[in-house]
A and B are shown apart, each in its own frame.
Chain A
């Protein structure tokens, strides 16, 4: 795979190292001369000096044959531009953008720059995963596929406690895919009985979180992202 990475900061550099170790072809583009020089010895021909938002710089790096473009500069507008141009002008199939300021996440979404990854959001999700009192945790959102995977801790007063999976009338568009009990996980069968304290993983259509919560944690709070 040929990967172009815009930005040779900590994120860009480490991504490049990992991808090169996995035997992918990589070009890092860095617009700061001192940063470029500091990394030239390590990356040799795999790093180029230039502003990745300039079309000729992208073309010099061979964007026409890139399989993946990753924009991880410290500037959100630059990351949006690089990805927008890669996707719409050079018809690159796959892009990944870094969101520096989580408040800009909506802008990335509005302009079709997906996936857009924000360190703040990732850490927030981890916190929710580590703090069970939130009740509901978003584990994965597959936006293209319009599916989500969530985790819920079953509270003692939940209507499903003592019920068999086949008797729980979950809303259309949701499915229990796994139960974590006593430190071990298993895939439930139709006759599995749900117990208080179980952690239940569900796959569901977006928007069903509130309805699902009433089944498993009626007094829990849905985590807001």
Chain B
């Protein structure tokens, strides 16, 4: 599968490495060239040598998205640090470029819930963290 990941912070870069190791074709778009180093960190060879693609650009730029291969992306992952940026670019990926599967990181659980009802595949790390904290402070079941 061709996977396009926009935003290579801790989350995006980790998912990118895993997807590449699993044999997928992976392209990463990030506005910060330094994010490239995160992709190389801890690896025996560079991101490109491993078969990955990296494009510098912002997510709302059509040229950058096209250069990063959005037109043939089968999976689109929006994992920038901005919830609203992620929600907007995921909708662009679906509506303008017809990407079959768009997965969106949304820190705010309320926005994640509502946009999930609208048909976006949202994942809220905050929501999962809340659940884990809640279960951690529950008295252990006997």
A77 touches B95 (CB 8 A): no
Q: Are B84 and A81 in contact (CB under 8 A)?
A: yes
- Verify if B101 is at the interface (C-beta below 8 Å from A): no
Give the total of A residues in contact with B, Cβ under 8 Å.
20
Complex-state Cα separation, A76 to B62, whole angstroms: 15
Interface residue? A37 (CB, 8 A) = no
A77 touches B84 (CB 8 A): yes
Closest to B87 in A: A81
Chain B residues with CB under 8 Å of A17's CB are none
Q: A interface, by DSSP: helix, strand, loop or mixed?
A: helix
Complex CA distance for A84 and B100, rounded to whole angstroms: 22
A54 vs B84: C-alpha distance in the bound complex, in angstroms? 10
How many angstroms from the CA of A6 to the CA of B108 in the assembled complex?
Answer: 18
Number of chain B residues whose Cβ lies closer than 8 Å to a Cβ of chain A: 18
Asked if B88 and A111 sit within 8 Å, CB to CB, the answer is: yes
Q: Fill in one digit per residue for A36-74: 1 if any B CB lies within 8 Å of its CB, else 0.
A: 000000000000000001111000000000000000000
Interfacial residues of chain B within 91-138, with CB under 8 A of chain A in the complex:
91-92, 95-96, 108, 110-111, 114, 118
Q: Report whether A104 and B60 are in contact in the complex, using a CB–CB cutoff of 8 Å.
A: yes
| A77 adjacent to B110 (CB under 8 Å) | no
Q: List 14 A-B contacts (CB under 8 A).
A: A54-B108, A55-B111, A56-B110, A76-B60, A77-B60, A80-B84, A80-B88, A81-B111, A103-B60, A103-B62, A104-B60, A110-B91, A110-B96, A111-B92
Binding site for A on B (CB under 8 A): 60-62, 82-85, 87-88, 91-92, 95-96, 108, 110-111, 114, 118
Give the 5 A-B CB pairs with smallest separation, nearest first. Answer: A77-B84, A81-B84, A55-B110, A77-B88, A77-B85
